[in-house]
Structure 1
Amino acid sequence: MAALPPARTPSWNSADEAKEVIVDGLEKGSPPESLRDIKTSVWTRVFVGDASQDKETKRAMQSRHMIMIAIGGTIGTGIFLSAGSAVALAGPGSALLSYFVVGVFCYGVVISLGEMASYIPVTGSFAVFGSRFVSPALGFTLGWNYWLQWSLSIPSELTAAAVILQYWDSNITPWQWALIIIAPIFVMQLIHVRVYGESEYWFAMIKVVMIIVFIFVGLIYDWGGVRGHPGPGRSNFQNGQAFIGGFGNFAQTFVYAFYSYGGVELVTLAAGESASPHKTVPRAVRATFYRIIVFYILTILTIGLCINNADPTLLTAAYDSSVAASPLTVVFQRAGFGAAAHVVNAVLLTAVLSATNSCFYASSRMLLSLARQGHAPRIFGWVNSRGVPVPALMLSLAVSFLTFLTTIWGEGVVFSWLVNLTGISSLLVWGTIGIISLRFRAAWKAQGRPIGDLPYTQPLFPILPLVAIILALAMLIAQGYAAVVETPFDPKNIVATYIGVAVYVLCYVGWWAYEFFWLKKRQHFVPLMDVDLDTDAVWGPGEGLRLRQEEQEALEKRDAQDIADGKRSRVWARQAARFVI
């Protein structure tokens, strides 16, 4: 591959440089007529919209979009179908402890990342931070691993949606349903980022309401509050049923817990397209705490209280994608709500559509970031006048089609191995974010900057990033242990577990070799004093305290004006929102 010149973030590109960006295969000396023909084509006008590298994504997502994406944006089949498997495998106590440990891991990652993303809100988030704060090789590795992770998730989400729809109509085959579903999702992505934010807001709202209702109904049923349907009370946690199978089974539950929590970092990826990111990103990452407590800890507790670990439905839902056997459906039906299967199925469909929507968004924005950094062909850095990275979206769609076709033509062996390649990718990404956070703070201190200049400061530093690193290593070992003790033993399980690690290492070493032997760069890590903390920052050095004070004064003036106008309830609502989030 020809050497790419060192790329820079969008705000570094001047108009003159943007004019020099030419699609691969077109040289600078190409006739201008050919470019004019391209600009006037139907494809360009309808889909691309005059895309070029000098255009930027739009900051169109509001605070409510970011908060709802943080709270429920990536809640999917992991909590609706697979969560019960952890209870069946190791008992409700082990499952609860597993979800708590992964919740701490998740919290450490999101809070550490939120500190950096609120100050430097760029598309690409941690991949950009890895290049800036540690080394370009790390940014290249994180970016491509993350892009593969989300691109290869699209076919699995489409398959899940097809299975859900077959519950109502089995005459149409799964792959036909998948093709029907992908069209509107892709078109929504092409319109504007505001469409993604708005659709995710309502998708997430539906899921959040469903889970809250489930927790209330489940706990009332468990406590015997439903007439004619006596609940089990605390019996499922008694007589040695809380912890079964020892440490081996407990270690295996991390797989289910981690799968349920996947995608929580997406809110920081969206920081590059949010309005007032120095305010919206901190609110969104703080909302993660409520997501962990309510939507994971309380949900797994409710499942464990209401359904015995020996109940066969707990495993049926995970392996057969049976909505009738979903823990949520089972609890609703046992509490006397007979039509629960249809309701849960409808909500599950919105969850899968939301996940597919997020897959397209995350993969396209990460590829856009890679291209803007010089880690991918520059054509994928093109953005149209609506702020949509169309070439990056098209590649994500193409990859998803290629992998999905393997499930049609064969038994899906190729697809399964492709998914296994990136199955552990998110775990590696989370652990690496902890390293990047430590490096960011080290550079901040080395350059003599005050902590108060950050829009959001993570609590308990450096405990949270260190916890993220330690738990990432522990879970890597636990997943390997789970693959070894699984019966019957199969060496392929170990290979499938750790092949993602091999890809991660190959990406890192490959880019290092490219820089060392081709670009003749002998300095691998970015020196602390050379770490760029200014480009794309929400404000200049030393301006944070002053700007925040001005915003606070404006807010107090607004509250005083509302009180004077007799709108005291509006002021109370705003103050309550500030206290909670």
Structure 2
Amino acid sequence: MSEDSGLNSGLKQRHMTLIAIGGTIGAGLFVGSGVVIHTAGPAALISFLLAGVLIMLVMRMLGEMAVARPAVGSFYEYARIGLGDWAGFVIGWLYWYFWVVVVAIEAVAGATVLGRWIPDAPVWLVSLILLAVMTATNLFSVRAFGEFEFWFSSIKVVAILVFILVGVLWVTGAWPDARPGLGNLTEHGGFVPNGWGEVISKAVPAVAFFVGVELVTVAAAESAEPGKMVARATNSVVVRILLFYVGSIFLVVTILPWNSQGILSGPYVAVLERMNIPIAADLMNAIILTAVLSALNSGLYAASRMLFALTRKGHAPKSLVKVNGRGVPVRSTLIGTVVALISIGAAYVSPDQVFAFLINSYGAVALFVYLLIGFAEVRLRRRLEREDPEALTMRMWLFPWLSYLTIAGMLGVIVAMGLSPDTRSQFGLSVLILAVLVIAYVVLRRLGRLGEPVDEEPGDGPDRDVRAESPAPAGTEQGR
């Protein structure tokens, strides 16, 4: 049990490894990637590679901070210390909002996926059952969350590896009735059929498919050796991006023409059907369901831990900071479930207004989080170099220039999202959420409603060496 937070150090190395791996394999890869391929053509490989490199650099920056200063709330705490109390408030609530919306969306998606096998079951009822099961898992213990995520991620990893194996057999001619070769990469309008502009623009939605990889740094606070485990997970990001995304997408566009109708509806199902695998649709449906349940499980965990971290720094009601005997922040977890329940209700009461607003408003939220992570890393890296250079056992490559380039790249993705007709509404609503949080911080600070950190002394906790330098919370003498 952690003396500093009360959370239980129940996550083992195998949990952390699979949480990190599972964070990059979501339902978006199996379904949403078809939209990128159908627009960018075979050059979608480049779109995913660009997005993957950007996320890899963000993770390296985050890993540097997490290894040097493991902390409850991870990047929330780094933003608070590095950029100021306002940044911690904004990034923490942005991340919480992102995940509670994802939880509702994934619960509805899971019910829709199950509708293939149980068509008569009401979607709203199945959504509530899935949410209840995952909530119970998170309430039991962090070990239970880790076990579920371990097995969910294991299924996803095995599925991708098997897909890559059979894909290689097809391309090399070792699969029965295969048509080997790389002709589909160039025969249907060329490798870049719609121009490089589409390739670059499709890197924007591709970035969204990687969201969740940062969860391992949040979970690190509940592991026995957070610095060591985060370092391992961060170092493996490159392999995962190249193998799971770029590798599997390469096989998709090699086996099928990029403009095939099946690509748009589900590229991986289309490939398996092309290989004459009779249960392809049901098999992929099961894998997609696993990915959805994994996102639901992780979303509840991420939202509860971020809200827990917010309470400890006076950025949320103190009553939510309490944990039970198993080290689970029960109230923080249930708040996320209640908000998700309300959102699920909106999906059926007001699908075209309230629920549509929720779906569109979270689109760029994670990008804002990643951008603040970048700015925080630059500030904290310089501080650590002055005060505790020995803590920098993992370093961002080519600092500070590559850090600046990463920040510029993330800004470019955000601007592109605002300019693209397909994502402009999502960008606008996400900016609205950001503005609301900034205004909320200013108002609460002036009213003195932001409390002081809960039950902390300057010498306690993994971030003790930098806390003395951090901005005082609003409501204190220094913070006014």
TM-score (norm 1): 0.75
> Which of 381, 384, 387 is residue 444 of structure 1 equivalent to?
384
Please say if 1:271 is aligned against 2:211: no
- Secondary structure of 2:236's counterpart equals helix
Q: Deviations over 1:276-296 (max 9, x none)?
A: 112111011112111111111
> Which of 423, 428, 433 is residue 503 of structure 1 equivalent to?
433
- CA 1:464–1:65: 2 relative to 1, 3 Å: farther
Paired residue type of 1:250: V
Worse overlay, 119-128 or 456-465: 456-465
Aligned to 2:325: 385
Q: Deviations over 1:119-143 (max 9, x none)?
A: 3222211111111121000000000
Aligned to 2:469: none
Aligned to 2:28: 78
Point out where structure 2 has 5 or more consecutive residues left out of the alignment: 451-456, 467-480
Aligned to 1:469: 407
Aligned to 1:63: 13
Aligned to 1:404: 344
Q: Deviations over 1:127-182 (max 9, x none)?
A: 11111121000000000010000001111101111121111121112212112212
Partners of 1:190 and 1:400 in 2: CA distance? 16
Deviation at residue 11 of structure 1 after TM alignment: 6.2
Partners of 1:185 and 1:455 in 2: CA distance? 36
Aligned to 1:205: 154
**Do 2:67 and 2:231's aligned partners in 1 also have CA atoms closer than 8 Å?**
yes
Aligned to 2:42: 92
Paired residue type of 2:147: E
Deviation at residue 187 of structure 1 after TM alignment: 0.7
Please say if 1:428 is aligned against 2:368: yes
Q: How does 1:100-179 map to 2 (within 5 A)?
A: 100-179=49-128
> Which of 338, 342, 361 is residue 278 of structure 2 equivalent to?
338
- Secondary structure of 1:204's counterpart equals helix
Partners of 1:289 and 1:458 in 2: CA distance? 14
**Do 1:147 and 1:367's aligned partners in 2 also have CA atoms closer than 8 Å?**
yes
Please say if 1:253 is aligned against 2:205: no
- Secondary structure of 1:243's counterpart equals coil
Aligned to 1:482: 420
Please say if 1:537 is aligned against 2:462: yes
Deviation at residue 114 of structure 1 after TM alignment: 1.0
Partners of 2:459 and 2:420 in 1: CA distance? 44
Deviation at residue 533 of structure 1 after TM alignment: 10
Partners of 1:539 and 1:391 in 2: CA distance? 27
Deviation at residue 221 of structure 1 after TM alignment: 1.1
Partners of 1:386 and 1:533 in 2: CA distance? 26
**Do 1:160 and 1:352's aligned partners in 2 also have CA atoms closer than 8 Å?**
yes
Aligned to 1:323: none
Partners of 1:454 and 1:537 in 2: CA distance? 14
Aligned to 1:305: 254
**Do 1:78 and 1:256's aligned partners in 2 also have CA atoms closer than 8 Å?**
no
Partners of 1:313 and 1:255 in 2: CA distance? 23
**Do 1:74 and 1:358's aligned partners in 2 also have CA atoms closer than 8 Å?**
no
**Is the radius of gyration larger for structure 1 or structure 2?**
1
Q: Deviations over 1:499-528 (max 9, x none)?
A: 21232234234424544x44599xxxxxxx
Deviation at residue 227 of structure 1 after TM alignment: 2.5
Q: How does 1:179-218 map to 2 (within 5 A)?
A: 179-218=128-167
Deviation at residue 233 of structure 1 after TM alignment: 2.7
Paired residue type of 1:399: V
Deviation at residue 303 of structure 1 after TM alignment: 1.3
Partners of 1:165 and 1:495 in 2: CA distance? 30
Partners of 1:247 and 1:74 in 2: CA distance? 25
Aligned to 1:32: none
Deviation at residue 353 of structure 1 after TM alignment: 0.7
Worse overlay, 171-180 or 96-105: 171-180
Deviation at residue 88 of structure 1 after TM alignment: 0.6
Worse overlay, 115-124 or 105-114: 115-124
Partners of 1:311 and 1:247 in 2: CA distance? 20
Aligned to 1:458: 396
**Do 2:34 and 2:267's aligned partners in 1 also have CA atoms closer than 8 Å?**
yes
Taking only aligned residues, the RMSD between alpha carbons, in angstroms, comes to 2.3
**Do 1:251 and 1:479's aligned partners in 2 also have CA atoms closer than 8 Å?**
no
Deviation at residue 415 of structure 1 after TM alignment: 1.0
- Secondary structure of 1:152's counterpart equals helix
> Which of 313, 330, 338 is residue 373 of structure 1 equivalent to?
313
Partners of 1:287 and 1:381 in 2: CA distance? 33
Deviation at residue 460 of structure 1 after TM alignment: 2.6
Deviation at residue 246 of structure 1 after TM alignment: 2.5
Partners of 2:449 and 2:340 in 1: CA distance? 36
Please say if 1:315 is aligned against 2:245: no
Deviation at residue 74 of structure 1 after TM alignment: 4.8
TM-score (norm 2): 0.90
Point out where structure 1 has 5 or more consecutive residues left out of the alignment: 1-9, 13-54, 317-325, 487-492, 522-531, 542-581
- Secondary structure of 1:197's counterpart equals helix
Paired residue type of 1:462: P
Aligned length: 459
Deviation at residue 251 of structure 1 after TM alignment: 4.1
**Do 1:421 and 1:496's aligned partners in 2 also have CA atoms closer than 8 Å?**
yes
